[in-house]
Structure 1
Amino acid sequence: MPLCFMTRGRFAVGFSAAAVLVMTLSACSSGSPVATAPSTAGAGLPSSHVHGLSVNSQTDQVLLATHEGLFDVTKPKSSATQIGETNDLMGFTAAADQGVFYASGHPGPGSDMPNPMGLIRSVDGGKTWEQLSRQGESDFHALATAKSGIIAYDGTLQTSPDGKTWSPATADFVPAVLAGNPETDTVLATTRDGLQRSTDGGKTWALNTEAPIVQFVAFASGTEIFGVEPDGAVHYSTDAGSTWTRTGSIKGQVQAITAVKKTEGKPAIWAATTEGLVVSTDGGNIFRTPPTAR
């Protein structure tokens, strides 16, 4: 029976001299998912459980992967639009090509997907999904794409060049969040002991003892990365996660983040929180409610 997070990448925090972070885990059955995140449905988000966030750098489309399915929240909150079936997308990540996403989780009402769904892929922006592998076997709570393929965790950290064949990674940690970028084979994993870093597409890993203990992490480009601590403190790296600089802070309990590199200026970081959707366009210093989500 695979282990899964009681809330998507949720940590219970206790700071000592070493700032030790304790991650709460729970065994999941193959039946109903156990997401227990605090409700955000009244805070400008269409769902109580946000598991993933994606912003298209070319079209500015904002998508939320949630307990109730995939939602387009680019327009004002009253016009949040569900895309595709109502499936619990516990794991969610964007690929390099426009409109291509990978996901995992549990089927919702009326879905003909197996439980758990294994790895599924959409090539039409989330409208329809195809089954790639491990249907009825894996509920990947952490997913990332890198230059050489896909990295995923379902109780075992695994890598795949095509989403169909899998190999176990050399790792002895439990990732809360996996993050990668199609430009590079550098992959990051947030864990209770600190930030793990891979430079070979997730096959082998090393703990970065100099990095802050972050709960969430997201690539804006192959080298620019944001990390967020459990208390909302934001950190920024320009060297693919080797060194970090403290920037601003996010209010509210963060559930998911993503980052976007624009053609000019500093990258943007987006966050879905218990208080709603926020964005920083100045490299993580100041966060505001985006105009489209007011």
Structure 2
Amino acid sequence: MKSKKNSRIIIIAISLSVLIIGASMFIINSVNKAGNVTFEHIHGLGFTGDGEKLLVPAHDGLRIYENDAWEKSKNEPHDYMGFSMTSDGFYSSGHPSPSSDLKNPFGIIKSDDTGSKIEPLALYGEVDFHGMSAGYHSSSIYVINSEPNSIMSNPGLFYSLDNTENWKQSKVENLTGQATTLAVHPDNENMVAMGTNEGVFISLNNGDNFEQALEGESVSALSYTFDEQVMAASMKDKVKLSLINLDSLSVVDIKVPKMESDEYISYLAANPSDVNTFSFTTSENNIYLTQDLGESWNLIVEKGKAVKGE
């Protein structure tokens, strides 16, 4: 069993790692002179409830991919952090746009799919969470808290099962390595996965105890699928994308497109309406999409610039 001291050290490492990953993904402009959509500070990835749209939060608002084409959201260009897509919108933290009357930072907010209706939920004007994940069909929210605030008295992994009304701190036992990412099961509010530089760890009891599900891999991104698997991106000698069966913990590797030597997968998203469709972003501001479980890939953003569909 991990000591409380070791658990606190791991949580502090989580916070630093999330900040480093978020800061490493950037490009200069939001829209170039030709009007093509581009990306600054990619902060997440997620499919809408109908599976038709892919949303990407950038430094200055949302980008939306639908019918092989990109567009920039017409709503206020907020700087969303800790972005987590759900069946009826998204949870997020971050900062409002300069022209907005909303408080800075966001704390935790809930929005519709496009960011047109924003509801502050907790720690509004107080905290900016970079590490946050929510259940796609549940109201469970998990956050990595880096310092004390008015709700959370110390650093650690905290969770709410009732849309931020009440919070508890996870014990985070049997988690080893430097944690970098987390994901919440779409339906089971008690199941959370965390990735570290030593593998994938899964908890069935709200992060109190973890079991290792993938060893010897430095994990950069995680996402639960909608067919009882965890999708994990890792980097050792090369980039790997693995599917971990939640019942057997068996692992199947998925083909990935060729990448640069130091490029890694930064965010993953599974499509709720098609188990063969998912997408990922990379540290080089590329975004890929597959509709056949990795047998073929479409490059839909290259070096931060949207790729036009044929």
**TM, length-normalised to structure 2:** 0.73
- Post-superposition offset of 1:4: 4.6
- Post-superposition offset of 1:150: 0.9
Taking the TM superposition and a 5 Å limit, the aligned residue runs for 1:35-50 are 35-39=23-27, 46-50=38-42
CA–CA separation in structure 2 for the residues paired with 1:210 and 1:197: 12
Asked if 1:89 corresponds to 2:75, the answer is no
Asked if 1:68 corresponds to 2:60, the answer is yes
**2:96/2:103 contact within 8 Å kept:** yes
**Of 262, 267, 271, the match for 2:276:** 267
1:53 aligns to what?
45
Comparing 115-124 and 165-174, the one that deviates more: 165-174
> Which structure dedicates a bigger proportion of its chain to helix?
2
TM-superposition CA deviations, 1:91-144 (whole Å, max 9, x none): 11122x33x210001222112233321100013542121110012332211222
CA–CA separation in structure 2 for the residues paired with 1:4 and 1:108: 24
1:166 aligns to what?
167
CA–CA separation in structure 2 for the residues paired with 1:111 and 1:133: 19
2:286 aligns to what?
276
Asked if 1:111 corresponds to 2:122, the answer is no
Asked if 1:180 corresponds to 2:169, the answer is no
- Post-superposition offset of 1:153: 1.2
Identity of aligned residues (%): 21
CA–CA separation in structure 1 for the residues paired with 2:96 and 2:221: 25
**Of 298, 304, 307, the match for 1:288:** 298
1:151 aligns to what?
142
TM-superposition CA deviations, 1:214-255 (whole Å, max 9, x none): 211112215122111134321112326833222212435333
Change (3 A) 1:59 1:46: same
The amino acid that maps onto 1:260 is N
2:71 aligns to what?
80
CA–CA separation in structure 1 for the residues paired with 2:48 and 2:213: 30
1:214 aligns to what?
219
1:126 aligns to what?
115
**1:220/1:267 contact within 8 Å kept:** no
Change (3 A) 1:293 1:154: farther
1:28 aligns to what?
none
The amino acid that maps onto 1:271 is F
Change (3 A) 1:54 1:293: farther
**TM, length-normalised to structure 1:** 0.76
Q: Which runs of 5+ in 1 are unaligned?
A: 11-33
TM-superposition CA deviations, 1:65-95 (whole Å, max 9, x none): 1221222132555x52225322211111122
Structure showing greater Rg? 2
2:90 aligns to what?
101
**Of 174, 193, 201, the match for 2:198:** 193
The amino acid that maps onto 2:160 is S
Q: RMSD over aligned Cα, in angstroms?
A: 3.2
CA–CA separation in structure 1 for the residues paired with 2:68 and 2:239: 25
CA–CA separation in structure 2 for the residues paired with 1:241 and 1:130: 40
**Of 176, 201, 207, the match for 1:202:** 207
The amino acid that maps onto 2:270 is A
